[in-house]
Structure 1
Amino acid sequence: MEKYKKIRVVGRGAFGIVHLCLRKADQKLVIIKQIPVEQMTKDERLAAQNECQVLKLLSHPNIIEYYENFLEDKALMIVMEYAPGGTLAEYIQKRCNSLLDEDTILHFFVQILLALHHVHTKLILHRDLKTQNILLDKHQMIVKIGDFGISKILSSKSKAYTVVGTPCYISPELCEGKPYNQKSDIWALGCVLYELTSLKRAFEAANLPALVLKIMSGTFAPISDRYSPELRHLILSMLNLDPSKRPQLNEIMAHPICIPALLNLYSDIGSVKMRRVEKPLASVPAVSRVRPASRIPSARSRGGRVGHSPAKPGIPPPLSSVYTWGSGISTPLRLPMLNTEVVQVSAGRTQKAGVTKSGRLIMWEATPVGTGAPSLPGSIEHAQPQFISRFLEGQSGVTIKHVSCGDLFTACLTDRGIIMTFGSGSNGCLGHANFNDVTQPKIVEDLLGYEIVHVSCGASHAIAVSNEKEVFSWGRGDNGRLGLGSQESYNSPQQVIIPPEYEAQRVVCGIDSSMILTVANQLLACGSNRFNKLGFDRILSASEPSSEDQVEEAYTFTPIQSAPLNQEAILCADVGTSHSAVVTALGQCYTFGSNQHGQLGTSAHRNSRVPCLVSALQGVKVTMVACGDAYTVAVGAEGQVFTWGKGARGRLGRRDEGIGIPKIVQLEENHSYVVTSVACCHGNTLLAVKPSLEDISV
């Protein structure tokens, strides 16, 4: 408390004392909520912790701002914004019987509406919305909602069951003990709007049973006819006994009576952030097959960028394109996207996913073979799968910045540093403290309070890194792939201890192993070192390590030992089924592990544990690399895409059976492109490209 000076106690609640304080650094008044933790029950401690977590997620001009929290004198101190204008309940009480004019009511209401919309887009229910929790600025013009002590963070489709909240504002479904979702907050919002028009609560009674009967019957005093029919109808719709018939927040915001009030808000209150609307992609067929390689010049002859012919006059290039090959698709197939820009892709055993520039998660799904156009009579070409693309449901208001796919599950990272997972819950790889499957993205609640900056999924485990360089892992643990010092599996995130001299920056997960790229461009790894695919063997030169210098497994994150990898600055790495690849600061590509199918980039199918410099890429500055089950993909700084290794079932994106020497993959486009992201999983590859600056200028 040395940074603050207590002025007076302004409130006492169920959990503690509320102080008005002066922040010494800038002489600003703040509120400090003092919550004693020593005598608190487990539920009370969780509620206090929940308030901190919720406040960290929210940032809006109509929500009380959170500053910090700290422990002092066996109490949790939560520092937040001070609203000197008192509560909306006090404001209404001082009106006595003098009704507010409609413009004033709507001015207050739309601010509450914007704040609640922000809360719901963060997958949070307020669960105690009432006029006592709505605060005013000193001019009593700006409203701010607060008191998130009993809020609950939800997945978009989940429903809460606990009956909480102030009795006068609880919804009929809560009275019946039924599950509820955001529509209960809509009911409470309707109660607040009614109170603004009537200066009294919609539902009041002498005791709780009588109150419940009133709420269940939906009967309340009529609204004054001095107000417009539109306003009265809006209140009635929000207080509908059937939750499904209550309007959504976006429908209320679009209501004709609310639009003028929203537009008339002062600019210093805040504004609605406009986002480009991206149309859902229901059944767009896959387009653009590649031409035979002989008809397309090499990447070097085109300046090194993907593409081959100049842009057609008057036809702009697409914002981006995503190609796939493998699993029987022998040459690159452009996936359907309409006019959206994909900036990052990831592939799993069954999933193909991408993140758009606007923060949407896009998924591609293969339709059953035979549902596309009929092939020509006498055709001997194998039927190729068609793909449809769709934006993931339940993502409204959530901005995704990164996606990673495991075998049967997917993890998304939001711009607020929150991880959401969905898919198969086997092995506990979703991190939800159970083994249940989840169809829509659900927040990994154990990581709330940490700002996650990167996440990676292996076949059945996941690892994440926070902005404070903390590492967390969960899922299947055999071979030591979780880095927790054992082979135990965990269905919720566990903090990983790494050597103190290293700071984690990014993570890479494979089938049975994991890697960490550090801030200093060093590489740590754990898990199976079969064929020395993690570089654990103690190799000082190009000679093979002795048996005692070979390492088969590591249960904790350990620095790689094989020269020259232990001496190079490493910028990019990926680990496949039986081999790995890295890119150094000089743009060189090294591979290590099994070379049974030439996946190390040399035609000699050698049996060596020594890392291999891919000499065929000398002269090419490599920027990205990805490893599949027995093949490798590398991307050059000028956009060239090289593949090598096992060629069966189209793994290499070419009509050949594979070689150990890197060769360029040719894509068909009418514009020149640069590569933005590449991903491999098992025998599948995804490649995202966007127009080059030269092509855009043309």
Structure 2
Amino acid sequence: RYKIIKASVGKNHTVVVTDDGKSFAFGHNKFGQLGTGSLKNEIEASPVPCLVTEVTGVACGGDFTVWLSSVEGSTILSAGLPQYGQLGHGTDNEYNTKDSSVKLSYDPQPRPRAIAALSEKTIVKVACGTNHTVAVDSSGFVYTWGYGGYGRLGHREQKDEWQPRLVEIFQRHNVLPPNAILSAGSANCACTAGGGQLYMWGKMKTTGDDTMYPKPLMDLSGWNIRCMASGTMHHVVGADDSCISWGNAQYGELGYGPMGQKSSANPKKVDSLEGMHVTGVGCGFGLSLIIVDRAKAGDKLDQLDIYDGDASTPVEETVEPKVTKKAPASANSKSNKRKKTKDLS
């Protein structure tokens, strides 16, 4: 039996990490994204071992996977679909399917391979979007590579990067601290830098200009951000004793309830989770997952509606989640809240 400590999900595959440094994967393997060294089976219905040792972390893109390892000189490895250079090996492995055809294909990489451009670095954090990757080294420097559309790589241009490229703004006095959070959505990236300030770049909404390089999100200045995740065009943050979300939504993924607003251009508190200590968040296509600390939630969890699995229940008949009254803030928490530039409604 294994104890799973980390997991990540791509478009059609899942990769997990155990407490003893092993990694297992299951799901679609057409492009070698499971990292087993084989393309023999397109779908693995049960977990199979990945060819990576001393694994400390994992991140899944749409059809590729990136592992972190404590093996010296091989702290970051990748496998899967190399299109857009998202594996970071200096090539997209593109080729014509036939000499007489202009149809292009991409030679899959089923065996995890260390990213040579980062061999002298110790990579400590990694996150993947659909076709791009962002990583942080032990010195707090940030690197991105893969598909460059909408400025998601943060280099002030939309060029694809086939190997890791340093993001200029996070250098000198603005390197990332050890407790920084790192996140990647389908077409964007985010991280916290000095003072916990949240930066975002890429395509964050369906309308308006794209953010071609990292810019601070001032609405969340002063908040103690512990975790963040982005989906296609929505974002969820766990900070202080609040859950905050914003973006474009279609299926209630912002958590505002069936009677709440569908989308929000600006960060907004999820009222039904106010006062709870959020420890983890995850975003998929049209859904969000939020983990709260049960010990700190008290009886607030008991006041939430429970989904009974009956998908046939009309939305109009559901009950809006109860909103608990916020407990009086302590002297310390009052001083912390004064630092926030905006009271999120």
- Scaled to the shorter chain, the TM-score interval is 0.7 to 0.9
Match of 2:110 in 1: 491
Q: 1:690 & 1:415 partners in 2: Cα distance?
A: 21
Match of 1:643 among 232, 242, 245: 245
Over residues 573-631 of structure 1, what are the superposed CA-to-partner deviations in whole Å (9 max), with x where a residue is unaligned?
A: 11112222111241211111124337xxxxxx344424332111123222222111011
Structure 2 length normalisation: TM-score? 0.74
- Tell me how far 1:664 sits from its aligned partner: 0.5
Q: In the alignment, residue 683 of structure 1 is paired with which amino acid?
A: G
Structure 1 length normalisation: TM-score? 0.38
Q: Describe how 1:371-520 pairs up with structure 2 within 5 A.
A: 397-435=1-39, 436=41, 437-444=43-50, 446-447=51-52, 450-468=53-71, 470=74, 471-488=76-93, 489-499=108-118, 502-520=121-139
Over residues 532-560 of structure 1, what are the superposed CA-to-partner deviations in whole Å (9 max), with x where a residue is unaligned?
A: 212122xxxxxxxxxxxx25111111211
Contact 1:586 1:621 in 2 (8 A): no
Q: 1:417 & 1:627 partners in 2: Cα distance?
A: 27
Whether 2:180 is the aligned partner of 1:575: answer no
Over residues 458-498 of structure 1, what are the superposed CA-to-partner deviations in whole Å (9 max), with x where a residue is unaligned?
A: 11100111113522110111011100111132012112113
| 1:521 alignment partner, SS class | coil
Q: Is the alpha carbon distance of 1:459 and 1:685 closer, same or farther for their aligned partners in structure 2, counting shifts above 3 Å?
A: same
Match of 1:590 in 2: 199
Over residues 493-541 of structure 1, what are the superposed CA-to-partner deviations in whole Å (9 max), with x where a residue is unaligned?
A: 112113455311122111001121211222111101222212122xxxx
Q: 1:685 & 1:510 partners in 2: Cα distance?
A: 16
Q: Describe how 1:22-101 pairs up with structure 2 within 5 A.
A: none
Q: 1:399 & 1:578 partners in 2: Cα distance?
A: 32
Q: 1:623 & 1:455 partners in 2: Cα distance?
A: 19
Contact 1:451 1:466 in 2 (8 A): yes
Q: Is the alpha carbon distance of 1:463 and 1:416 closer, same or farther for their aligned partners in structure 2, counting shifts above 3 Å?
A: same
Over residues 225-255 of structure 1, what are the superposed CA-to-partner deviations in whole Å (9 max), with x where a residue is unaligned?
A: xxxxxxxxxxxxxxxxxxxxxxxxxxxxxxx
Over residues 163-197 of structure 1, what are the superposed CA-to-partner deviations in whole Å (9 max), with x where a residue is unaligned?
A: xxxxxxxxxxxxxxxxxxxxxxxxxxxxxxxxxxx
- Tell me how far 1:666 sits from its aligned partner: 2.5
Q: 2:54 & 2:213 partners in 1: Cα distance?
A: 38
| 1:498 alignment partner, SS class | helix
| 2:84 alignment partner, SS class | helix
Q: 2:238 & 2:273 partners in 1: Cα distance?
A: 17
| 1:657 alignment partner, SS class | coil
Q: In the alignment, residue 484 of structure 1 is paired with which amino acid?
A: H
Q: Is the alpha carbon distance of 1:627 and 1:472 closer, same or farther for their aligned partners in structure 2, counting shifts above 3 Å?
A: same
Q: Is the alpha carbon distance of 1:621 and 1:535 closer, same or farther for their aligned partners in structure 2, counting shifts above 3 Å?
A: same
Q: Is the alpha carbon distance of 1:576 and 1:463 closer, same or farther for their aligned partners in structure 2, counting shifts above 3 Å?
A: same
Contact 2:227 2:279 in 1 (8 A): no
Q: Is the alpha carbon distance of 1:607 and 1:407 closer, same or farther for their aligned partners in structure 2, counting shifts above 3 Å?
A: closer
- Tell me how far 1:411 sits from its aligned partner: 0.7
Over residues 336-373 of structure 1, what are the superposed CA-to-partner deviations in whole Å (9 max), with x where a residue is unaligned?
A: xxxxxxxxxxxxxxxxxxxxxxxxxxxxxxxxxxxxxx
Q: In the alignment, residue 161 of structure 2 is paired with which amino acid?
A: A
Q: Is the alpha carbon distance of 1:606 and 1:673 closer, same or farther for their aligned partners in structure 2, counting shifts above 3 Å?
A: same
Q: Is the alpha carbon distance of 1:694 and 1:576 closer, same or farther for their aligned partners in structure 2, counting shifts above 3 Å?
A: closer
Q: Is the alpha carbon distance of 1:565 and 1:680 closer, same or farther for their aligned partners in structure 2, counting shifts above 3 Å?
A: farther
Contact 1:429 1:476 in 2 (8 A): yes
Q: Describe how 1:226-625 pairs up with structure 2 within 5 A.
A: 397-435=1-39, 436=41, 437-444=43-50, 446-447=51-52, 450-468=53-71, 470=74, 471-488=76-93, 489-499=108-118, 502-537=121-156, 550-562=157-169, 567-569=174-176, 571-597=180-206, 605-625=208-228
Whether 2:248 is the aligned partner of 1:683: answer no
Q: Is the alpha carbon distance of 1:608 and 1:405 closer, same or farther for their aligned partners in structure 2, counting shifts above 3 Å?
A: closer
Q: 1:621 & 1:490 partners in 2: Cα distance?
A: 40
Q: 1:416 & 1:399 partners in 2: Cα distance?
A: 8
Match of 2:255 among 646, 650, 653: 653
Gap runs ≥5 in structure 2? 94-107, 300-345
Q: In the alignment, residue 267 of structure 2 is paired with which amino acid?
A: P
Whether 2:304 is the aligned partner of 1:664: answer no
Q: Is the alpha carbon distance of 1:694 and 1:662 closer, same or farther for their aligned partners in structure 2, counting shifts above 3 Å?
A: closer
Contact 1:583 1:623 in 2 (8 A): no
Match of 1:164 in 2: none
Gap runs ≥5 in structure 1? 1-396, 538-549, 599-604
Q: 1:658 & 1:640 partners in 2: Cα distance?
A: 18
Higher alpha-carbon Rg: 1
| 2:292 alignment partner, SS class | strand
Q: 2:172 & 2:262 partners in 1: Cα distance?
A: 30
Q: Is the alpha carbon distance of 1:632 and 1:491 closer, same or farther for their aligned partners in structure 2, counting shifts above 3 Å?
A: same
Q: Is the alpha carbon distance of 1:508 and 1:634 closer, same or farther for their aligned partners in structure 2, counting shifts above 3 Å?
A: same
Q: In the alignment, residue 168 of structure 2 is paired with which amino acid?
A: Q
| 1:416 alignment partner, SS class | coil
Over residues 259-300 of structure 1, what are the superposed CA-to-partner deviations in whole Å (9 max), with x where a residue is unaligned?
A: xxxxxxxxxxxxxxxxxxxxxxxxxxxxxxxxxxxxxxxxxx
| 1:586 alignment partner, SS class | helix
- Tell me how far 1:667 sits from its aligned partner: 2.8
Q: 2:273 & 2:168 partners in 1: Cα distance?
A: 42
Q: 2:185 & 2:38 partners in 1: Cα distance?
A: 28
Q: 1:652 & 1:673 partners in 2: Cα distance?
A: 16
Contact 1:479 1:527 in 2 (8 A): yes
- Tell me how far 1:568 sits from its aligned partner: 3.5
Over residues 45-86 of structure 1, what are the superposed CA-to-partner deviations in whole Å (9 max), with x where a residue is unaligned?
A: xxxxxxxxxxxxxxxxxxxxxxxxxxxxxxxxxxxxxxxxxx
Contact 1:508 1:575 in 2 (8 A): yes
Match of 1:629 among 215, 218, 232: 232
Q: Is the alpha carbon distance of 1:568 and 1:586 closer, same or farther for their aligned partners in structure 2, counting shifts above 3 Å?
A: same
Q: 1:693 & 1:687 partners in 2: Cα distance?
A: 15
Contact 1:452 1:464 in 2 (8 A): yes
